[in-house]
Amino acid sequence: MKRQTYQKGSVVQDSRRGIWVFRWREDGKRKSESLGRCRNKAEAQRKAAPLVLAINDGEKRAGQGMTVGELVTEYMTSDRFPARFSTRAAYTYNFDNHILPKWGETCITKLTAYEVETWLKSLGLSAKSKVHLRGLLRISMEFAMHLGYLSMNRNPMELVRIPGASKRAVEPRILTVEEFQAFLAHVESEPYRTMILTAMCLGLRVSELLGLQWGDIDWQNSRIKIQRGIVRNRVDDVKTRYSGKSLPLDPDLGELLKMRRVQTEFKESNDWVWASPAMAGKKPLFYTTLEKVLGRAATKAGLEGIGWHSFRHSFRSWVAETGAEVGVQQKLMRHSDIRTTMNIYGDALPETLRTASSKVVKMALRTA
């Protein structure tokens, strides 16, 4: 006999045993199933999702009565949930710490743009963070439409406005050539000095810098291939398909990297360029260690606000200073959209890229 009403049960914490429990009613009797230890209610709800489906005889319902928590659970276990580790981690964090605690029990048909906009205004977060939260709710609602849980109407999250969303909360730290040299003077130990010079000369994200292997360097053709990133000590894909491009390798920077290969005991093609001796070369250096190196050097140089991304911002500024056209800047930065670089279109020939890149290297190595 088909169940007349859809049952979603409830998730509660058993503080005495330190576990979470899923409870529901069947044939007038109360039943429960242990969900084990969970970090929070959002994680417990995800664990309970298969049980909800089971007690309803595997029947999925069309939106009516479905909560945001149930929808998010289904989205996170679907093939539409991002494959890239860093993206999954960011999505999971925002779902668990912001969206589900507030909207987890709300029916998806009752979620309005006004309520979401009011909630976002109340949060003590940057405009950029609020944009990310709105984006996740928009994606979730689109997923509901895709499955037929909601009718194919305009996504209500498109009506949510976030003041200042297009403005930076904090301006990026861009180093002048003189400031960079003053900073570099306080980085004496290797491989950190060469790491910083490589980041500055190529404009790499720190994840891409850590992800370099010796096999990525084409010594014969003086090029370096960006193929992977290291995020939270895990190998990850590059940010976009445009990020995974080859970059020209200036001869002077190439000599520095060759010297690094001579100095390290991890020289094979599949070895990390910045291999960690403490991990027997199986992993690159830890990000927290690199942050401390930057912090100490910045303090000694009397400079503030310097992080690894400062080198990428500075690289873009330095490339522009060489007189390179915007198309050249875009390709060296490996941006998928030229608007990210400067909101102007352009193109560049390989030799033009190499010339602009070499000019930046000479600026960086001026007193190195």
DSSP state string for 82-115: --SHHHHHHHHHHIIIIIHHHHTTSBGGG--HHH
Residue type, 222: S
What does the angle CA 337 – CA 175 – CA 181 come to, to the nearest 5 degrees?
A: 130
- Rounded to whole angstroms, the Cα distance separating 325 from 335 reads 14
Domain boundaries, the chain: 1-59, 60-170, 177-364
Mean pLDDT within 230-259 = 82
Mean pLDDT across 138-149 = 90
Confidence class of residue 5 from pLDDT cuts 50, 70 and 90? low
> Is-contact 338 326, C-beta < 8 A?
yes
Domain 177-364 has CATH 1.10.443.10: yes
Overall average pLDDT of the 334-338 stretch: 65
The architecture CATH gives domain 60-170: Orthogonal Bundle (1.10)
Residue 195 binned pLDDT confidence (cut-offs 50, 70, 90): very high
pLDDT at 282 over 60: yes
Residues counted in the chain = 368
pTM over 0.85: no
